[in-house]
Copies of this chain bind each other. A is one copy, B any other.
Amino acid sequence: MLEWLKEPEINFPEQLQHAGFEHGVCVGQIQAKAGLTQSTVSEYLSILQRAGFIEATRVGQWTYYKRNEGAFEALSKLIQSNL
């Protein structure tokens, strides 16, 4: 999912019919692509959010998630310096 969210235009072209990608990709799109149930995907995304890797934006009845690139850089640096 994290890799998918690097290129929303390529991985979630269907969303274009409803919205743009300013705030990322909505749960339903990710779920369809993942092939897991709605509850599972929703839980995954909230875990990733709590871990800081993605950010959520609620717009109406949709929740959009997008990557927080800073978290990935920080992880890479943490591995470099601490591990």
Interface residue ranges, A against B (CB under 8 Å): 2-3, 72-73, 75-77, 79-80, 82-83
Tell me the dominant secondary structure on chain A's binding face. helix
Please tell me if the beta carbons of B79 and A83 are within 8 angstroms of each other in the complex: no
**Closest residue of chain B to A82, judged by CB?**
B3
Which residue of B2, B3, B80 is within 8 Å of A76 (Cβ)? Answer: B80
- Interface pair A79/B82, CB less than 8 Å apart: no
Of the candidates B2, B73, B77, B79, the one whose C-beta lies within 8 Å of that of A75 is B79
Q: Please, which residue of chain B has its CB at the minimum distance from the CB of A75?
A: B79
| A82 to B76 alpha-carbon distance, docked (Å) | 11
Q: Enumerate chain B residues within 8 angstroms of A75, measured Cβ to Cβ.
A: 79, 83
A4 to chain B, nearest CB (A): 12
